[in-house]
Each structure stands twice: as structure tokens, then as C-alpha cells.
Amino acid sequence: MEVASLIKVARGDEPAELLLKNARVVNVFSGEIEETGVAITHSRVVGLGNDYPAQRVVDLNGKYIAPGLIDAHVHVESAMVPPYEFARAVVPHGTTSVIIDPHEIANVLGVEGIEYMLEASKYTPFSVYVMVPSCVPATHLETNGGILRWPDLIRFKNDPWVIGLGEMMNYPGVLLRDQEVLDKLRAFFNRRIDGHAPGLTGRDLEAYVAAGIASDHECTNVEEAREKIRLGMRIMIREASNARNLQALLPVVNSKNARRILFVTDDRFPADLIDEGHIDNIVRTAIREGLDPITAIQIATLNAAEYFNLHDRGAISPGRRADLIIFDNFEKFTIEQVYRGGQLVARHGRVLPQDIPPRNLPVRNSMNVKWSKVDVRLPANGHKKLRAMGMIPDQIVTTQIVEDALIKNGLAVSDPSRDLLKVAVIERHQATGNVGIGFVRGLKLKRGAIGSSVAHDSHNIIVAGTNDDDLMTAARAIAAMQGGLVAVADGEVMARVPLPIAGLMSDQPLERVREQLDDLAEAARDLGSDLHAPFMALAFLALPVIPELKLTDKGLVDVNKFDFVPVFAD
């Protein structure tokens, strides 16, 4: 809006387009609730007051108005739908802006993946800002589908929707001054650079912060979060489907440091988005746990906007975007209406129809497996002890445990009686034939196998189960769908979720994907797993930047040593 016209409307010399009157406005600057109205013209708030002249007036009868919610760090791909369908899930919950890091699809398709997400995010009912992926591949310990060096990333720097460099997972590369890592940090030195440094402390943490990395979403306890806050980092409190850190980290928040906190979802499955919500669920839970309601909303709005230099949003004040949510009370925090840029985009849990329909963008087949070299059998060769990944409930970190191997016909095999299951990661990008084999405790399958082409961050095929035949059945079924999730037993596919968009996202509506995932979850329960999100837990077993033991297509990785270790421990 031209500034002279904005001034006229703000002074009352010309009527606003819309007045939302008799509201209780949450002021995230002052910490107050003001009984007033909000005047809007074009996409902007022009002033506060019940007496503004306006072409259209809506009486809210005492309902609350707050700024639209902002997810400060999310991977849309983890919802298994493209941006438009993701918007249909989260906008009714009050999310009007998201900061995405498309490193999932970039690890599959490289630059093409970033371009896809930028294009697919256009004409959606929320604002999508991009932090370009800093670690593609995440490490040298795995095979992925694309390599992004600093010249590949800097080409996006002038895109108005690109605001910085995504989570720097390769903290060993930072500390060891890896030249390629340093080149990326230098290329984005004047932009926001997000962090990812679980457990990093002391001088190593100070060096990491000195490199210009300003946030972290991997804290799991108060002591870790407090140390990082003291060094100037923003702490992103994450409440994902599999990594739920909100209750553990809320005690760190106080009146003196609350402005250094952000809320993020990182990775959320469709069922959790639909049933629990998005950032609104974090705000609601935080209030229930005792956090001051205005502080909770401030964290979910103004804090994120200011951190990412999005100074046109995050608060209700003259000149800012009219991204607004309307709700009845703080206890339930149920979002009734959502405005984006002054336009009503969602009401009572549903996105309103748009003039511009979603577009189906073509994506190439990303499945390239050399099956003649794929073998999930593991000869024992006289060994009797093996290393295994120990899962921790509601966390993506694992422990490293040593167990007696179950040997049959000279092969190390799964032992479901001890919840010790074989895991295989099969390379699917470059037809190398690589197969990494390991074991895990915590999936709790009693029979059959589960598998996925969503395997952070390189997204090779990962399968886990009680026998080798079902592992192979699962792997072949995933490839046949051009990617997806499966549950199998006795050589038959029990349930499947096709993900033909890079092996990460469906081309079906969100509701259909949720139905397929519900069927898949039921199948996993039939196989014996009682985990809340067994497929997300499976996906993170392949992420070799999260301690302590993980598995890639190249082998078993001791993350603390950042090197391979043999699966046998004797």
C-alpha cells in the first residue's frame, strides 16, 4: 500500500476497508490485552480503535485477536504432502507464516528440489519463507541424491522468499574448519544462519556460535538450553511428532529470557497436525503448563518475526501485515478465524476456497536401486556380540548398546523376543548397491517388517523387521511405488502410503494421506509396535548427526566419533 494512502486511513481521513471492533487485542509489545478494534486496509493494519470509519464492520463481541502464528523451523516434507496441502492442515490452526528448510527434498533432488518447493509454495494461503539447506549431503558418511555447494546456494540468496542458511548440522565441519562449510557460512554471513548442535557444550559450542550460527532446536534439557541462551543463541523449543521437547524445556523460560525463545514443529505427521494442531498446540500446551498466555503468544509471533527480520508481521500495530487469529479464550485456545493480509482465509477449522487452485508440478522418479547387489543377510563369521541402536521414547537420539547376537545358519538375524530387530538402509539415488546393516531395540515388532523412503536426511530406503525375507519385500514395494511407506508380513504388503514426489510427499489430498497413514499405523500395531510414530522413529535411525549410534547405506555410525564402527562388537 502506498504510504500516503496508509497515512490517510490511519488518521481517519479515509475509511478503512475493514474494522474488527469490540475485540480484546493481544499486544505482544507491551504484554497487555487492549479492549479495542483493529482497522485494516489492503493487507495492512492501519490503526487500533472501535471508532475508525470503515466500509465494512465486524463486531467480535469480546473475542480475542492475536497476531498470526509463525512456525520458526519446519520441514514440510515430513507432513508427506506438498506446501498447498500442508497449508490446508495448518492455516486453520492459526499459522500464517512458516520458515521452511527444504533439505529433505534437496537431499533427493538437489537444486531441483529447492526450486520445486519455492514454486509449489506460491499462491498458498500462508507465507512460506525458505532457509536454504546448508548440509546436502548432511555428512560424508552416506549417499544422497544431490550435492549443494556454496555457489549452488548463493544463487537463491536474492530470492525475496529466501531469508537465510538452514540448520548447520555439520557441527564437526564447523569446528574442524572444513573449507566447504566455511564457504557456506561466509556466503550467508549477513543473513540468519540456523543451528543444529545437540549436546554441544563448552569451547566447542563457543566456537560454533562464533561462526555466526544463531539458533538451535535440538536442546533436550534445561542445562543445555540455558548454556546456549547465555551465549546469545535463540532456543527453538520443538514439539514434533517424534521429538517432544516442550515440557522438558519450558522451565528454562522466564521473564528475562522469554524473548530468546521460539516455537517450532520441525517434523509433524498429518494425523498430529489434524488431531493436535500445529503451533497453536504448542501455545495451548505451554499455557496449560503454566506459561503466561501473552508470553506464549509472543514467543509464537513477535519473537520469530524479529529473529528472521520479518518486521512486517508478528504483532498487531499500524503498518504491519494484517495476519491475525481470532479465538474465544486462552484455556482452549481454539482458533475460530484466520486472516492473512487482511483477508479471511480460514474459519472454524477449514481453509476457505481460493480463486487459484493448487498446481501439480512434475517431479522426476527418484528411485534408482541396483537390486542385483542388494543383500540384507549378515554373515556372523564367528562373531557373537553386536552393536545396536537403543531408541529413547519421544526422542530422536539413540543409545549404543551391545547384545548377544542371535545366529542362525551362520547369519546374524533379528530376535523379536528381545526386541532386537535388523535394520537395513538401501541406497536409492545412484544405484551403488550400498546396503548398511545394523540392529535396533525399541521398535517392538513381533512379526513382519516396516519400511520407508523417508530416512533422514539422505532418504535412502530404510527397512526394519523380524526376518530378512520381509525386509526385502518391504524394500521392493517401496521402490515400486516410487517411494513411500509400507508394512509387510509373510511376504505380503499389509498397508502402504505411496509418496511419488521425491519419495517424500504424496500427490493425494491431505485427508486421503491421513487415511492411508491410519491404515499403516494399524498395520504396525498388528505387527506388535505400540510406538506413537513408529515410521518417524524409523526415519531418524538413519540420521548420522544425531547421537549416539545411527545407520546409513555405508554402515553403522558412531556419531560421537563421527566415524563408522563395525556392527559386531567382538
Asked whether the predicted pLDDT for residue 360 surpasses 80, the reply is: no
Report pLDDT for 51: 95
Q: How far apart are CA 312 and CA 215, in angstroms?
A: 21
Burial-class residue 370 by CB neighbours within 10 Å (0-12, 13-18, 19+): middle
In one-letter notation, the amino acid at residue 384 is K
C-alpha cell at 367: 528411485
Q: State the burial class of residue 407 (Cβ atoms within 10 Å of its Cβ: 0-12, 13-18, 19+).
A: middle
Q: Which residues of 1-35 are buried (b: 16+ CB within 10 A; e: fewer)?
A: eeeeebeebbeeeebbbbbbbbbebbbbeeeebbe
**In the predicted structure, residue 387 carries a pLDDT above the cut 80:** yes
Higher pLDDT: 547 or 36? It is: 36
Tell me the per-residue pLDDT of 477-528, one tens digit each, with 9 for 90 and over.
999 999 999 999 999 999 999 999 999 999 999 899 999 999 999 999 999 9
Mean pLDDT of 334-338: 98
* 397 within 8 A of 221, measured Cβ to Cβ: no
- The confidence score (pLDDT) of residue 354 equals 80
User: If you ran DSSP here, which 8-state letter would residue 213 be given?
Assistant: -
d(CA 520, CA 123): 32
**Res 552 pLDDT > 70:** yes
Provide φ and ψ at 343, rounded to 5°: -105, 135
Mean pLDDT of 397-415: 96
**Does 530 score more than 80 pLDDT?**
yes
Q: Which of 178, 113, 209, 125 is nearest to 152 (CA)?
A: 113
Give CA–CA dist 150/178, Å, rounded: 13
Question: What DSSP designation does 461 have?
Answer: E
Q: Return the amino acid letter for 532.
A: H
CB atoms within 10 A of CB 259: 15
Residue 416 · residue 568 · CB < 8 Å: no
Kindly state the average pLDDT of the residues 292-314: 98
> What mean pLDDT is reported for the chain?
95
Q: Which three cell numbers stand for residue 135?
A: 548440509
| Structure confidence at residue 546 (pLDDT) | 87
pLDDT confidence of residue 500: 97
CA 26 to chain centre: 28
Among the listed ranges 237-246, 319-328, 479-488, which one has the minimum average pLDDT value? 237-246
pLDDT-based confidence at residue 299 (cuts at 50, 70, 90): very high
Minimal CA–CA distance to 460: which of 138, 79, 101, 102? 138
**pLDDT tens string 532-542:** 889 989 999 99
Average pLDDT over residues 389-400: 91
Model pLDDT, residue 1: 65
Q: Could you give the CA distance from residue 136 to residue 321 in angstroms, rounded to a whole number? A: 34
Query: Tens of pLDDT along 71-122?
Result: 999 999 999 999 999 999 999 999 999 999 999 999 999 999 999 999 999 9
pLDDT band at 394 (very low <50, low <70, confident <90, very high): confident
Which segments within 268-409 are labelled E, that is strand?
324-327, 335-340, 343-347, 350-351, 385-391, 398-404, 406-408
Q: What percent of the chain has pLDDT over 70?
A: 99
Work out the number of other CB atoms within 10 angstroms of the CB of residue 156: 16
363, three cell numbers? 517431479
Domains by residue range for the chain, with CATH: 68-315 (3.20.20.140), 371-564 (no CATH)
